[in-house]
Amino acid sequence: MSGAPQRAATPLVGRITRVAGPVVVAEGLGAAGLYDLVEVGEARLVGEIIRVDSGGATIQVYEENTGMRPGEPVISLGRPLSALLGPGLLGSIYDGIQRPLVELKAVSGAFLEPGVKGERLDPERSWRFEPALRPGDPVGPGSLVGRVRETELVEHRILAPPDAARGHVAFVAEAGEYRISDVVVRIEPDRDAAGGLRTEIALAQEWPLRRPRPVARRLAPDEPLITGLRVIDVLFPLSKGGAAAVPGGFGTGKTMTQHAIAKWCDADIIVYVGCGERGNEMTDVLVEFPKLVDPRSGRSLMERTILIANTSNMPVAAREVSIYTGITLAEYYRDMGYAVAVMADSTSRWAEALRELSGRLEEMPAEEGFPAYLPSRLAEFYERGGRVETLGGGIGSVSIIGAVSPPGGDFSEPVTQHTKRFIRCFWALDRELANARHYPAISWTDSYSEYAEELGSWWDRVDPDWRKVRVRALELLKREQKLQDIVRLIGPDALPDEQRLVLIVAEMLKAGFLQQSSFDEVDKYCAPTKEVLLLRAIMEFHRRALASIKSGTPLPRIVELPLRERLSRLKSEVPNERPEDIRAVEREIGAAFDELDRLYGKEVLR
């Protein structure tokens, strides 16, 4: 199977000299390379060389190695740890090193036995291949060579691997049924092509986990990832190809927020990486995800989802590599021209795995015991996202949403602080909001998005008022936060009417816009047009109420308006298909305040 270059080498055999948890030192592997794949011990556990020196090779073992002893054999396979990429990935559940958990359960039971093996993709299953080229056609890295219908929702595009030489098609298989190992295309290189080796393309290919897949060029993040959550889409938007962090303490809703985004966002493919989370939480994911219905098609969401499960009681080294497995699978589908969303839950547990392995390696610790290279590892992960032009000329994207679990909800700890250096969207979860059952519990004072300006042109096509009402809403919420400090000291009655109006409208924003119920059939997903109209209606109420107060209308008369309560209920009363109902309410707001201004005197300030 074609893919990244593999070093042809006779396997090297060494011996274990030292065992320190998942870190093993072996001698006799002097000719092995850094990050080579190895099989460790009598059980032939999967491992990876992470250090080579005169004293031998240091290996991190990705399976449970309790009972391993010095003197057991180590075999270097002379190739990097890689993912197998091809039809059959969607709907699968893997562990951190791409072992199929459903298949392994049938072999090993509920608890994985060390050394148990399973096929990453079913080698016996046949797939209907439709060629996209004919003999003699020019072809190069990333070129489309054929198609396979992987699921009812996703067409799997067979591409020439990124390392293929430029040339022409010497052979292409006829349309028909093929297994993943069957060669369907042969490329004869041009005479002046670098490398100059014939490339054989099967339905599946290998790619090293730690090596980013190349692209033609990176594109501006000017298209939003629509999630259906108003507080995200309108106030703190994320672009396709962008990177976001969801930090929050225990019980603030990180996992549930990611689940909602995974179900409702407009990404084509979902890759969910459960990295070091508690076993019961991951069990809920594995049980619930297959039951979820894709709202766009009515079919199972698993038909466009890949799950990677690495719980906190699984080997710590596999937790470290699971992030790279997930992002490699995402890049593979990105290269087909799809928009992919990666959910990493959580990067804090991944960082803790780095810390534990660093301690086993006796490396000098940095702040709070984390290794000094924590920032560079975070950068390597988040920088593999992006919206790109693929080698084949298509447009694809990988959006990364990483949950962060700071101890005690302390955002000043190293993982959160370093993560903020490499992401441009920060959705801070607030414990007080979570305790008040405000969902999603995203703090509007601590969160931010640097994508808003780049996404402005897209939102202008939805509603030209998006920028204006967004800025006004954020300013009003910040003013309300400052006024709350005064209210706690002297009470709201001591404030002038204009400031009391800020408090009233802020509550309308929280109840009628920011809060959103996943159990409400109408409100569980909000379309972009409805999102902006809801916010515009509330901000129009504030604008007209402020002008009416200045013209002499008493605040109690404004508070008595039935429209105030109605605006808080619009989100659940007006479906996405009837935005004109919200526009009608805006007209009612104008009429109601015109009547108040007529009754109470001065000309309204417009």
pLDDT digits (tens, 9 = 90+) for 15-55: 999 999 899 999 998 788 889 999 999 999 999 999 998 87
Are the beta carbons of 531 and 515 closer than 8 angstroms? no
Say if residue 5's pLDDT is above 50: no
Cβ neighbours around 366 below 10 Å, total: 15
Between the two ends of the chain, the Cα-to-Cα distance in Å is: 69
pTM of the shown model: 0.92
* Sequence-distant (≥ 6) Cβ neighbours of residue 322 within 8 angstroms: 95, 96, 97, 273, 275, 308, 310, 350
pLDDT one-digit tens code per residue, 383-429: 999 999 999 999 999 999 999 999 888 899 999 999 999 999 999 99
Say if residue 351's pLDDT is above 60: yes
- Among residues 208, 146, 210, 212, which one has the least CA distance to residue 180? 146
What average pLDDT does range 569-578 have in this prediction? 94
DSSP codes of every residue in 368-409: GG-BTTHHHHHHHHHTT-EEEE-TTS-EEEEEEEEEE--GGG
Q: Where in the chain do CATH 1.10.1140.10 domains reside?
A: 466-600
Domain 1-81 annotated CATH 2.40.30.20: yes
Are the beta carbons of 132 and 175 closer than 8 angstroms? no
Say if residue 603's pLDDT is above 50: no
The pLDDT of residue 430 is 94
The pLDDT of residue 256 is 87
Cβ neighbours around 284 below 10 Å, total: 14
User: Helix crossing, 497-509 with 562-573: angle to 10°?
Assistant: 20
Q: What is the mean pLDDT of the chain?
A: 91
DSSP, collapsed to helix, strand or coil, labels residue 531 as helix
Cβ neighbours around 491 below 10 Å, total: 9
Token output for 180:
């993943």
Say if residue 8's pLDDT is above 80: no
What are the Cα distances from residue 604, in Å, to 393, 468, 552, 579, 589?
56, 21, 9, 28, 14
Q: Where in the chain do CATH 2.40.30.20 domains reside?
A: 1-81
| Helix and strand totals (H; E) in the chain | 16, 26
Helix, strand and coil percent figures for the chain, each rounded to 5: 35, 25, 40
The pLDDT of residue 549 is 93
Are the beta carbons of 39 and 78 closer than 8 angstroms? no
Give the pLDDT band of residue 196 (cuts 50, 70, 90): low
The pLDDT of residue 259 is 86
Give the pLDDT band of residue 471 (cuts 50, 70, 90): very high
What 8-state DSSP symbol labels residue 174? P
DSSP codes of every residue in 433-473: HHHTT-SS-B-TTT-EES-HHHHHHHHHHH-TTHHHHHHHH
Angle at 470 between CA 458 and CA 580, to 5 degrees: 70
Give the pLDDT band of residue 139 (cuts 50, 70, 90): very high
The pLDDT of residue 483 is 94
Q: Where in the chain do CATH 3.40.50.300 domains reside?
A: 217-452
- Among residues 93, 441, 405, 105, which one has the least CA distance to residue 257? 441
Q: Beta-strand (E) ranges in 219-296?
A: 243-247, 269-275
Say if residue 337's pLDDT is above 90: yes
- Among residues 523, 103, 522, 93, which one has the least CA distance to residue 289? 93
Say if residue 605's pLDDT is above 50: no
Say if residue 531's pLDDT is above 80: yes
Window from 157-171, 201-215, 289-303, 413-427 with minimum mean pLDDT: 289-303
What average pLDDT does range 1-19 have in this prediction? 69
User: Helix crossing, 562-573 with 528-550: angle to 10°?
Assistant: 170
Beta bridge partners of 169: 187
pLDDT one-digit tens code per residue, 71-95: 999 999 989 999 999 999 999 999 8
Give the pLDDT band of residue 291 (cuts 50, 70, 90): confident
For residues 292 and 525, give the distance between their C-alpha atoms in angstroms, rounded to a whole number.
Answer: 14
The pLDDT of residue 310 is 85
pLDDT one-digit tens code per residue, 360-375: 888 999 999 999 999 9
Give the pLDDT band of residue 533 (cuts 50, 70, 90): very high
Say how many residues make up the chain.
606
Say if residue 3's pLDDT is above 90: no
The pLDDT of residue 602 is 55
For residues 418 and 402, give the distance between their C-alpha atoms in angstroms, rounded to a whole number.
Answer: 13
What are the Cα distances from residue 432, in Å, to 101, 436, 437, 449?
38, 6, 9, 22
Class of domain 217-452: alpha beta
β 425-426/243-247 pair status: parallel
Topology of the domain comprising 466-600: 1.10.1140
User: Helix crossing, 497-509 with 466-490: angle to 10°?
Assistant: 120
Window from 278-292, 303-317, 564-578 with minimum mean pLDDT: 278-292
The pLDDT of residue 279 is 72
- Among residues 59, 62, 90, which one has the least CA distance to residue 76? 59
Q: Where in the chain do CATH 2.40.50.100 domains reside?
A: 127-206
- By CB atoms closer than 10 A (0-12, 13-18, 19+), residue 514 is buried
For residues 8 and 566, give the distance between their C-alpha atoms in angstroms, rounded to a whole number.
Answer: 71
* Sequence-distant (≥ 6) Cβ neighbours of residue 4 within 8 angstroms: 80, 82, 161, 162, 163, 206, 207, 208, 211
Give the pLDDT band of residue 311 (cuts 50, 70, 90): confident
Say if residue 601's pLDDT is above 80: no
For residue 596, give the amino acid letter.
L
β 243-247/305-310 pair status: unpaired
DSSP, collapsed to helix, strand or coil, labels residue 73 as strand
Better pLDDT: 54 or 524? 524
Window from 146-155, 182-191, 217-226 with minimum mean pLDDT: 182-191
Window from 3-7, 205-209, 320-324, 413-417 with minimum mean pLDDT: 3-7
The pLDDT of residue 573 is 94
- Residue the block writes with tokens 């197998």: 84
Are the beta carbons of 350 and 276 closer than 8 angstroms? yes
- Residue the block writes with tokens 């959550």: 229
Give the pLDDT band of residue 192 (cuts 50, 70, 90): low
* Cα torsion angle, 492, 496, 501, 506, sign: negative
- Among residues 418, 511, 380, 426, which one has the least CA distance to residue 248? 426
What 8-state DSSP symbol labels residue 293? B
Window from 317-326, 495-504, 510-519, 593-602 with minimum mean pLDDT: 593-602
Query: 127-206 is classed in which CATH architecture?
Result: Beta Barrel (2.40)
Token output for 85:
């990429």
Give the pLDDT band of residue 243 (cuts 50, 70, 90): very high
The pLDDT of residue 133 is 94
The pLDDT of residue 587 is 95
